[in-house]
Homo-oligomer: A and B are copies of this chain.
Amino acid sequence: MKLSILGCYSATPRTLNNTTSQVLEINNHMFLIDCGEGTQVQLRKHKIKFNRIKHIFISHLHGDHFFGLVGLISTFRLLTRETDLHVYGPKGIKEVVTLQMKLADSWTNYNLFFHELTSDKSELIFEDDKVEVHTIPLNHRVYTNGYLFKEKEGERSLNVLAAEKANIDIAYYRKLKQGFDVVNENGETIKNATVTKAGKKPKSYAFCSDTMYKEDIIPIIESTDVLYHESTFLDKHAHLAVKTKHSTAKEAACIAKKANAGTLLLGHYSTRYDDLNAFKKEAQEVFKNVELCDDGKVFEFN
């Protein structure tokens, strides 16, 4: 599981600060999360192949999280993309993208699917045999969802020598990896656990931005390996966090602690602060395992 931070600052793009966008690589998927203005240039800088992005998840329709979307969709067209693209985001996202395409008299030459979200309950919105994506309803000034990306329980790891010794026909190996007991060539039932062990522990990543402190999300993100939680403000500006429905670093850490997260990533910093270390310091008073996001930073979680 690999996370590339394309941008992690609020609320306007600047010469050295990009607005929110991330790429999560998980089980051969490349998920784009949020798409602030300039995201397509950030993707180029990171040498991320446009065609590998098949799913884009937009948290909410504030500009610093989605003004780069229509440009990216247009660029895909200009590059003669043929791969399907799925866009998940709040209701309205389809209208605004299609209006701009209509005005430009330009339509995609690939299939573009919008999955508009309206629920205030967590929903399963994407699933294949390896990964699930769930919404995390957040509390911000407009309708907002975070996203929980979860690997599914993988296949069990087969001890081939033990299976041979137990006289199991090779045709049953797949069944064994899937966790079933099998009958060997002597007609004996072989307990699965005697020839396999648990596979790689599935990973999960929870993206929570933008939101005020919201304990309701804890059961949804419980024990996530990695939690990105916005921390727009430091504690001294907690009143601004309340006013604008954002969080402080300490509040992000409280959520990480109560949700029993593995690692907390901080981001969505207000550009009023010069020193990001203050965010880490404040968060670590509550929760130890804190990392600071920054534009261009890549995290690998193995």
Are A15 and B103 interface neighbours, CB within 8 A? no
Cα–Cα distance between A69 and B28 once the two chains are bound (Å):
36
Cα–Cα distance between A96 and B45 once the two chains are bound (Å):
29
- Given A96-B103, A100-B96, A105-B142, decide whether A41 and B61 contact each other with a Cβ distance below 8 A: no
Are B142 and A63 interface neighbours, CB within 8 A? no
* Interface check A44, CB cutoff 8 A: yes
| Segment from A71-79, A171-179, A255-263 that makes contact with B | A71-79
* Interface check A51, CB cutoff 8 A: no
Are A15 and B45 interface neighbours, CB within 8 A? yes
Of A11, A44, A63, the most chain B CB neighbours within 10 A belong to: A63
Cα–Cα distance between A62 and B105 once the two chains are bound (Å):
8
Are B104 and A99 interface neighbours, CB within 8 A? no
* Interface check A141, CB cutoff 8 A: yes
Closest chain-B Cβ to A77's Cβ sits at a distance in Å of: 10
Q: Among B11, B63, B78, B95, which residue has its beta carbon within 8 angstroms of that of A99?
A: B95
9 additional contacts (CB under 8 A) given A12-B75, A63-B104, A105-B141:
A12-B74, A13-B38, A37-B37, A37-B38, A38-B41, A62-B106, A63-B74, A92-B103, A96-B96
